[in-house]
Amino acid sequence: MTDRKNIAVIGAGYWGPNLARNFRNSNDWNLAAICDLDIDRARRVAESVGGAPIMTSLADVLSDPLIDAIAIATPAGTHHRIVMAALDAGKHVIVEKPLADSRAAGREMVSRAAERGLVLMADHTYCYTPAVLKIRELISEGFLGDILFVDSVRINLGLIQPDVDVFWDLAPHDLSIMDFVLPGGLDVTSVSAHGADPLQTGKACVGYLAMPLAGGAMAHVHVNWLSPTKIRQMVIGGTKRTLVWDDLNPQQRVSVYDRGVDIAEVSKATTTDARSAHISYRLGDTWAPALAEGEALAGVATEFAAAIREGRPARTDGEAGLRVLSVLEAANESLNGFGAPQQTTTRVAA
């Protein structure tokens, strides 16, 4: 295809090979380079995807006029420096989660991309899975009704990260999914966080987030590095139906339950027990929607190219990344305050 864009992957560690493979296989992209300070690691990734130019200098990548965009798969602490340099060099950018290591750094990145007229996309990969896309569709159609609660669990054994705690490592997945599927995005008013470090690693290894949402709903996120069992599950309850997403159940990742609590409008003048008169329980069918098969990162690559081609923000743009960062920073403040609720700025520009 003559309209393919050229992209370089920066970072050949854990996530870089996945990005390289999907950009190599995409009809929208040419994999123009793999850049890493460790040339042997970069070479191994290049060989695994059928070959690609290898570079060790970010400056050389950014000075190449044939490279249209870069995909960043480096530690969060390096994102701001690399993204700002890439934007100043006129490159479109996709960056793995979290967008940055602070909201201030992320806001500067978003502002610079807007000034340059470039696409800055957050690689919120789960948002491009068939299951999450179906959840977004069902909620937007009003199939669940008004959202009452979101309960999310993401637990497994390891890996304890050297630079971030369990909140910054695992919670961005769940927060980005909520931002993607909930009407109006991640509209959080405050965050209460409780964490524990039973192994004395110097950072929270087990954590819980509680977040009031717009309209009176409540969200809860449980993350854990120490669980011998692996669970990736989200329950979204609405006034009409409740949805369960189980990412580890390939036969039935999404289930919808026509069960719940109905609140009837009963005049207080006609009953002495208003609460019991208002409440009834609904027991209905359970069904599982059919889901298309496909790798999420392939959808990420397609969306990145489409946003550039159409001159529009990506579906998971820099603003989406900022909303996630706002919750993570509020969680840090709450942890330092022994779980006291901290206000967030998910809806207010810095």
What's the Cα-to-Cα distance from 271 to each of 266, 268, 277, 281, rounded to whole Å? 8, 6, 7, 19
Angle between helices 103-116 and 76-88 (to 10 degrees): 20
Query: Residues 54, 34: contact at Cβ < 8 Å?
Result: yes
pLDDT of residue 267: 45
- 313, exposed or middle or buried, with CB in 10 Å at 0-12, 13-18, 19+? middle
Three-class SS of residue 243?
A: strand
Residue the block writes with tokens 């695994």? 48
The three-state secondary structure class of 337 is coil
Give the Cα separation of 152 and 222 in Å (integer).
Answer: 6
Measured in residues, the chain has a length of 350
Sign of CA pseudo-dihedral 73, 74, 79, 84: negative
pLDDT of res. 157: 93
What pLDDT is recorded for position 215? 84
If you write DSSP's letter for every residue of 318-333 in order, what string do you get?
HHHHHHHHHHHHHHHH
User: In this structure, are strands 5-10 and 69-72 parallel, antiparallel, or unpaired?
Assistant: parallel
What backbone torsions phi and psi does residue 238 show, to the nearest 5 degrees?
-125, 175
- Please give the chain's pLDDT, 350 residues, in tens: 458 999 999 999 999 999 999 999 999 999 999 999 999 999 999 999 999 999 999 999 999 999 999 999 999 999 999 999 999 999 999 999 999 999 999 999 999 999 999 999 999 999 999 999 999 999 999 999 999 999 999 999 988 888 899 999 999 999 999 999 999 899 998 999 999 999 999 999 999 999 999 889 999 999 999 999 999 999 999 999 999 999 999 999 999 999 777 766 444 445 555 555 566 777 778 999 999 888 999 999 999 999 999 999 999 999 999 999 999 999 999 999 999 999 887 664 43
147-157 vs 218-224, strand pairing mode: parallel
For the chain, how many helices (H) and strands (E)?
A: 10, 15
| 245, 139 contact by CB (below 8 A) | no
CATH topology (fold) of 5-126+296-316: Rossmann fold (3.40.50)
d(CA 224, CA 197): 10
Q: Assess contact for 27 and 51: CB atoms under 8 A.
A: no
Residue 173 identity = H
Contact 224, 131 (CB under 8 A): no
Cis previous bond, 159, omega within 30: yes
pTM for this entry: 0.92
CA separation for the pair 248, 243 (Å, rounded): 15
What are the structural domain ranges in the chain? 5-126+296-316, 127-294+326-343
- Which residues are within 8 A (CB) of 336 and not within 5 positions of it... i.e. 6 or more apart? none
CA 64 to each of CA 68, 90, 199: distance values in angstroms, whole numbers, following the listed order: 9, 11, 47
- CATH class, 127-294+326-343 region: alpha beta
Cα–Cα distance for residue pair 3/21, rounded to 1 Å: 20
319-343 as b/e, with b when 16 or more CB fall inside 10 Å?
bbbbbbbbbbbbbbebbeeeeebbe
